[in-house]
Amino acid sequence: MLRNGETFAGEAVGAPAAVSAGEVVFNTVMCGYTEVITDPSYAGQIITFTYPHIGNYGVSSDDSEAARPWCRGVIMRDLAQFHSSWRAESSLEEFMRRNHIAGITGIDTRRLTRHIRDAGSMPGAFGTAEHGDLLAAARSEPGTSGVDLVSSVTTAEPYTVGSGPRHVVAYDLGIKSTILRCLSDLATVKVVPAHTPASEVLESQPDGVFFSNGPGDPEMAVATIEAMKELLGKVPIFGICLGHQLLALALGGRTFKMRFGHHGGNVPILSSATGQIEITSQNHNFAVETGSVPSATETHICLNDNTLAGLEVPDADAFSVQYHPEAGPGPHDARHHFARFAEMMDRSRAKT
């Protein structure tokens, strides 16, 4: 049941749960359900898959983007009863049960998606409880606006990955494993909690600082925004998704909650500088208001709705993109941004 009373009937799957509540969004990928379910950016949300058949190739731990899923539940049209892949370690339903994630299948996901598209993303609840209990849970769910979800997914302690020639500090706002693999090709990466002060980062003399993807309202990540303000101009900065929004806020820009967000693997992005179009992976409910960041150059536009998708601050050696160049899952058109970050760090290091 959605908060507005719209009701859908299906069959409970995954971990048993009387009530699972969260903000209901839809994702349009045709494959990559493991990566989507384990993306920490879905904290606080229930994922609706628009593709009708989910689970047909099972689950491999190599595809996981985090140690465990952070989403509140999964909605599907058809959960495959049998899976077939030489890589599979378990079925999707076994994975969901093991990780305490409830799901519902048999749902008319086309109808649900059209409803969210028209009415906007909203809180909802599903489970085996009575209708009245589900509706009450949906209406009491706060959604993601004004909620700090980053603190629930960030690492508790710093850790290091990779052994590349450069030194990068990565703020974990809900960082994905694929991002860490891409960064590890460039540098030795020290991953730090979201609340880490800038002074502590600068003490380690990094070649660059990375701000990751993450869930929830960017305005709630106050400590990270303050750290970014202090780091700007002192060290090269690269932000992805939530990191892009935080860069805008640190520069005095504005963000807003989108009607139903961008969640999929085939979103076209136009580069204002080159005129080239890249097909990208995206997962965000908030966006940066166009024209609100006076000290930055707007570099990329989403062709689906003309929302701002990229920023650059040449004087401060900082840039960001709203989409996911690491693409887990999705196309690799935009992975060149990691090489761009490496070149920026090398230029900065050469100056000193």
What DSSP letter does each residue of 291-330 carry, written as one string? T--TTSEEEEEETTT--EEEEEEGGGTEEEESSBTT-SSS
Burial (CB count <10 Å: 0-12, 13-18, 19+), residue 274: exposed
> By the 8 A CB rule, do 75 and 47 touch?
yes
All residues at 6 or more sequence positions from 196 whose CB lies less than 8 Å from its CB, including other chains = 158, 171, 227
Lowest-pLDDT range of 9-13, 228-232, 292-296 = 292-296
Closest C-alpha among 211, 22, 222, 25 to residue 134: 22
Question: Number of folded domains in the chain?
Answer: 2
pLDDT of residue 352: 74
- C-alpha R_g of the chain: 20
Closest C-alpha among 218, 217, 268, 265 to residue 239: 218
Residue located via tokens 């990068």: 168
Q: Which of 140, 159, 175 is at the close of a domain? A: 140
> By the 8 A CB rule, do 261 and 285 touch?
yes
Domain interval for residue 115? 11-140
Q: What's the CATH code of the domain at 233? A: 3.40.50.880
**Strand pairing partners for 288?**
255
Instruction: Go through the chain and tell me how many residues it has.
Output: 352
Q: How far apart are the first and last CA of the chain?
A: 59
Average pLDDT over residues 86-113: 98
pLDDT of residue 321: 98
Question: Are 172 and 108 within one domain?
Answer: no
Residue located via tokens 């409803």: 115
Average pLDDT over residues 10-36: 97
Closest C-alpha among 137, 145, 187, 132 to residue 162: 187
Question: Are 182 and 318 within one domain?
Answer: yes
Question: Are 172 and 225 within one domain?
Answer: yes
Question: Are 204 and 343 within one domain?
Answer: yes
pLDDT of residue 351: 82
Residue type, position 227, single letter: A
Measured in degrees and rounded to the nearest 5, phi and psi for residue 35 equal -60, -40
Compute the distance between CA of residue 15 and CA of residue 93 in angstroms, rounded to an integer.
8
Compute the distance between CA of residue 240 and CA of residue 318 in angstroms, rounded to an integer.
12
pLDDT of residue 350: 87
pLDDT of residue 77: 98
* Domain annotation covers residue 1: no
Q: What's the CATH code of the domain at 58? A: 3.50.30.20
Q: Which of 112, 140, 168 is at the close of a domain? A: 140
Q: What is the pLDDT of residues 156-213, one digit of tens each?
A: 999 999 999 999 999 999 999 999 999 999 999 999 999 999 999 999 999 999 999 9
Q: What is the pLDDT of residues 313-344, one digit of tens each?
A: 989 999 999 999 999 999 999 999 999 999 99
Question: In the numeric block, which tokens belong to residue 107?
Answer: 């749902």
Q: Catalytic amino acids?
A: 241, 324, 326
Question: Are 42 and 154 within one domain?
Answer: no
pLDDT of residue 249: 98
Compute the distance between CA of residue 36 and CA of residue 81 in angstroms, rounded to an integer.
20
Q: What is the pLDDT confidence band of residue 215, given thresholds at 50, 70 and 90? A: very high
Between the CA atoms of 290, 296, 301 and 305, what dihedral angle is there, to the nearest 10 degrees? -10
Q: What is the pLDDT confidence band of residue 119, given thresholds at 50, 70 and 90? A: very high
Compute the distance between CA of residue 173 and CA of residue 39 in angstroms, rounded to an integer.
11
> By the 8 A CB rule, do 158 and 200 touch?
no
pLDDT of residue 94: 98
pLDDT of residue 57: 98
Question: Are 43 and 169 within one domain?
Answer: no
Question: Are 128 and 156 within one domain?
Answer: no
Q: What is the pLDDT of residues 148-171, one digit of tens each?
A: 999 999 999 999 999 999 999 999
Q: What is the pLDDT of residues 223-232, one digit of tens each?
A: 999 999 999 9
pLDDT of residue 213: 98
**pTM to 2 decimals?**
0.96
**Is residue 124 over pLDDT 80?**
yes
Question: Are 187 and 317 within one domain?
Answer: yes
Question: Are 179 and 290 within one domain?
Answer: yes
